[in-house]
Amino acid sequence: MRRASFCCSLLASVFAASCVSWGDERAPQQPLAATAATEPVADPPIAATASDAVPGARWLDLEGDVARQVTVRRVPRRYLGHPTTVLLPDGRSMLCVHPEGHGRGPIVLQRSDDGGRSWSGPLSVPENWATSKETPTIHLLVDPRSGRDRLVLFSGLHPIRSSISNDYGQTWTPLAAIGDFGGIVAMASVVHLADGDYAAFFHDDGRFFRGGGKRTQFTVYQTRSSDGGLSWRAPTVVWTGAEMDLCEPGVVRSPDGKRLAMLLRENSRKQASQVMFSDDEGGTWSAPRPLPATLTGDRHVARYAPDGRLLVSFRDMASGSPTRGDWVAWVGRFEDLEAGREGQYRVRLSRNWRGTDCAYPGVEVLPDGTFVLVTYGCWEPGEAPFLREVRLRLAELDALSTGPEPVFTRPFGAVRPTVRIESWWTRRVADDLAAARAGGHRVVFLGDSITQGWNKEGAEVWREVWQPRQALNLGVSGDRTENVLWRLEHGLGDALAAANNDVRVVVLMIGTNNATGGECPAEEIAAGIEAVVRELRRRLPRAKVLLQSILPRGKKPDAVRTACRRASELAAAQLRDDPLVVHRDYAAHFVGSDGVISAEVMRDFLHLTAPAYRTWANALLPDVEALER
């Protein structure tokens, strides 16, 4: 089959993650079953042995080992994300906090009394925990005066707030500001210092440190407490710079206690993750230097095994990695961090089915050496993100390492029909389906928010140009190729093919949301576009498809714009032998000769202004008229 051979030709060059199902609104979605088409569109795995992509450490794979997995919390059609955990002094009781939402959302507290083998439902918490605006973290500190343990929960942005428990999480104070400063992922790490103080680390991008700011450059901060977390000093700068976007500091102490290492996410994706060192209890830090590919990712959390080896849990974001976007762990020694070595093991803990949206992890070590690893992710196709735990001992990894090297597979998410979980989307899709079923349509516009915009910024032009042609607008904000496939398979395709419609032309533009944030490679976006076209051709065999290249986006040319253009070219090439599919590229109507897009054309360098909709209509009209005949 031509589709299969096309996908196979891509595998050698593509090891990026399946696309995350966010749209313009960055809203979570759920993949469902694969699509059918005139020529079946394969859902091909991106397959490779790990050593082909990122050599060095021995790679292991725990994906599918359900005996290691515990579901911490799962709610149908509800986004659960970003947990952190704490192990209490008895060595078996654990607490987990997480937001109901992507970072922002009510904070939920759960408890396990059996070392993470089972978890309670949500526990009673202060009412204002529902006002949290950022990923919560939880830490166990000690009051230096009384020697008593104290739990401190933090919630970030401006101002950073904390909530205190002096009875191991039975009761809590309401969230209250710890000072007139803010930040993101507060506090990503808290370290007990030699003088009895605690150092806490967080970052900001200029917007929240003083409140009301603008995004400038990333800065990593440190604040200290001398009273066991009741109060915190004014933060000091650990690192700031414009050449990288360093954030989410994960700090771990060397086994001899003399050195601190700070592992850092690099958010611009231009460089690898970085590491910095301090030999004076955080007073000064070395310049950042790259971590190896086996440690490149986000939200590093590190703990020691009883034998002195170090396990770091994080989200894999290494370029070329066959597990990019998955929840992974690194096993090695502190000396490997110092020397820049790849480490002993790189372990996939769980496959994330939607791009890179996973793995803000909790990592605890039980007295018997069992690692209890907890995070969120899209662990099953067709489900919203939920909290999963994976349990392991390093001796088990040692035994596993004597077996064959794993082969990692990553099916394209862009061709998997996907329903979105937002209530507004459900209503919008139902309304569109009702309109399609009402009949009387000859021209159909199908796509995302840019197409939906004919109902708003382009409304006047729509009434003048398209309404007389019995056109139907089926654009839905935030949709991706997989969402359009789902709509076609769940009633829309049948409605358009019904006898009360006479669909002559489908005007299609889809795929820009697949490219957002670089989360899908061009080859995957192209496969999704092709799947949509083939599904249209199967369901509407007499209709012609006017396939438009994805409109350029971003003020200036960048990687996302390039991916959109490349995806459009690949999809058009795959469909060029179908005489009922006509490809057009209207980019020249919206981009200046220097490649710059004006705000008069795209108000946010993505969505068209009212005059631009008229420009678009003028470009489209001759082609639509020709295809109608």
Crossing angle of the two packed helices 2-11 and 559-575, in degrees rounded to 10: 150
Question: In terms of Cα–Cα distance, which of 480, 483, 472 is closest to 417?
Answer: 483
- Give me the residues paired with residue 386 across strands: 377
Adjacent-strand bridge partners of 599: none
Q: Which residues are CB-neighbours of 364 under 8 A, at least 6 positions away? A: 85, 86, 87, 94, 116, 303, 371, 372
Q: What does DSSP say about strands 544-548 and 581-584: parallel, antiparallel, or unpaired? A: parallel
Residue 302 identity (one-letter amino acid): A
Write out the DSSP string of 271-289: S--EEEEESSTTSS-PPPE
Residues in the chain: 629
The two tokens of residue 404 are 């064959």
Hey, how many other C-beta atoms are within 10 angstroms of the C-beta on 504?
19
Cα 616–Cα 618–Cα 623 angle in degrees, nearest 5: 95
CA distance 510 to 430: 20
Grouping H, G, I as helix, E, B as strand and the rest as coil, residue 122 is coil
- The DSSP element (H or E) to which 565 belongs, if any, is helix 559-575
Residues serving a catalytic function are 449, 604, 607
CB 240 within 8 A of CB 221: no
Q: Is the dihedral of CA 410, 415, 417, 422 positive or negative?
A: positive
Burial class (CB in 10 A: 0-12, 13-18, 19+), 222: buried
Task: State the DSSP string of 597-610.
Answer: PPTTTBTTSSSBPH
Interhelix angle 559-575/522-539, rounded to 10 degrees, is: 40
Tokens of 187: 């506090």
Q: Which residues pair with 94 in a beta bridge?
A: 87, 112
Tell me: cis bond preceding 187? Omega within 30 of 0 counts.
yes
Closest Cα to residue 564, out of 450, 424, 452? 450
Cα–Cα distance for residue pair 538/545, rounded to 1 Å: 12
With b for 16 or more beta-carbon neighbours within 10 A and e for fewer, the 582-614 pattern comes to bbebbbeebbeeeeebeeebbeebbbbbeebbb
* Burial state string for 531-568 with b = 16 or more CB within 10 A and e = fewer than 16: bbbbbbbbbbeebbbbbbbbbbbbeeeeebbebbbbbb
Q: What is the DSSP letter of 379?
A: -
Q: Which amino acid is at 524?
A: E
d(CA 309, CA 452): 54
